[in-house]
Chains A and B, each alone.
Chain A
Amino acid sequence: MSQVLLIEDDAGTAEEIALELRRAGHRLQHERFGRTALAAASAGSWNAIILDRMLPDIDGLEVVRRLRENGDRTPVLVLSALSDLGERVRGLDIGGDDYLCKPFALVELVARLEALLRRPLGAGETALRLGPIELDLLRRTAFRGERALELLPREFQLLEYLVRRGGRVVTRSMLLQDVWGYRFEPRSNVVDVHMGKLRHKVDLDDETPLIRSVRGQGYRIDAPG
Chain B
Amino acid sequence: MRRADVLDKITIRWSAGIAAALALQAILLSALFWWQTVSAGQADLGRELSEDCAALSRLSADRLADAIGDRVNGDLHRTGFIGLFDRDGRPTMGNILTPPPELRAGTGPHRVTLRRADPAGVAPDEAEAVACRTAGGDLLVIGRDLDFYQMIQHLVWRALMLSILPAAALAVLGGIVLARRGQARVRRFRFHLDEITDGGLKARLPVRGGEDEFDLISAGVNQMLGRIETLMAELRGVGDDIAHELRTPLTRLRAKLERGGDAVSSPEDVRLLVDGAISDIDQALHVIGALLRIRAIEQGVRRGNFEPVDLGSVLRTAVELYQPIAESKGVALSERIAPDRIVRGDPDLLMEALANLLDNAVKFTPAGGSVRAELAETPSGLRVLVSDDGPGIDPGEREAVFRRFHRSRARDAPGHGLGLSLVAAIAHLHGFAVSIQPSERGCSIAIDCPAAT
Contact = CB atoms under 8 A, between A and B. Distances in A.
A147 B363 CA distance: 36
Q: Is the interface on chain A under 10, 10 to 19, 20 to 34, or 35 or more residues?
A: 20 to 34
Contact of B348 (A183, A188, A189, A216): A183
B271 to A, nearest CB: 9
A184 B355 CA distance: 9
Contacts of A188: 325, 359, 362-363
A196 B278 CA distance: 22
B186 interface: no
A185 B289 contact: yes
Contacts of A68: none
Contacts of A187: 355-356, 359, 415, 419
B304 A87 contact: yes
Contacts of A90: 305
A183 B351 CA distance: 8
Given A81-B296, A82-B301, A103-B289, A193 B328 contact: yes
A82 B320 CA distance: 26
Interface string B94-112: 0000000000000000000
B292 A103 contact: yes
B286 to A, nearest CB: 8
Nearest to A88: B305
A184 B350 CA distance: 10
A103 B287 CA distance: 12
A184 B282 CA distance: 17
B227 interface: no
Interface in A185-214: 185-190, 193-194, 196-197
B415 to A, nearest CB: 7
Contacts of A81: 296
A184 B352 CA distance: 6
B302 A86 contact: yes
Given A85-B301, A103-B292, A215-B275, A184 B351 contact: yes
Nearest to A104: B289
Contacts of B317: 180-182
A154 B351 contact: no
B61 to A, nearest CB: 117
A194 B355 CA distance: 15
A83 interface: yes
B322 interface: yes
B324 interface: yes
Contacts of A85: 301, 305
Interface in A68-97: 81-83, 85-87, 90
B299 A186 contact: no
Contact of A182 (B305, B351, B356): B351
A86 to B, nearest CB: 6
A57 B81 CA distance: 105
Nearest to A215: B275
A186 B278 contact: no
A88 to B, nearest CB: 9
Given A82-B293, A85-B301, A190 B356 contact: no
Contacts of A181: 317
A96 to B, nearest CB: 15
Nearest to A154: B320
Contact of A189 (B307, B325, B351): B325
B10 interface: no
Contacts of B320: 154
Interface string B319-348: 011101100100000000000000000011
A81 to B, nearest CB: 7
Contacts of B124: none
B238 interface: no
B359 A83 contact: no
A182 B348 contact: yes
Contacts of B305: 85-87, 90
B321 A83 contact: no
A83 B275 contact: no
Contacts of B324: 190, 193-194, 196-197
B325 A82 contact: no
A193 B301 contact: no
Contact of A186 (B293, B297, B302, B321): B321
A39 to B, nearest CB: 31
A67 B121 CA distance: 120
B89 interface: no
A188 B364 CA distance: 13
B300 A83 contact: yes
Given A182-B348, A184-B355, A216-B278, A190 B321 contact: yes
Interface string B298-321: 011110110100000010010011
A82 B296 contact: yes
Interface of B: 275, 278, 282, 289, 292-293, 296-297, 299-302, 304-305, 307, 314, 317, 320-322, 324-325, 328, 347-349, 351-352, 355-356, 359, 362-363, 415, 419
15 contacts: A82-B296, A82-B297, A83-B299, A182-B314, A182-B352, A183-B348, A184-B348, A185-B289, A187-B356, A187-B415, A188-B359, A188-B363, A190-B355, A215-B275, A216-B278
Sorted nearest first, the 8 A-B pairs with minimum C-beta distance are: A184-B352, A82-B296, A182-B351, A193-B324, A183-B348, A193-B325, A87-B305, A83-B296
Given A87-B307, A182-B317, A188-B362, 11 more contacts: A86-B305, A103-B292, A154-B320, A181-B317, A185-B352, A187-B355, A187-B419, A188-B325, A193-B324, A194-B324, A216-B282
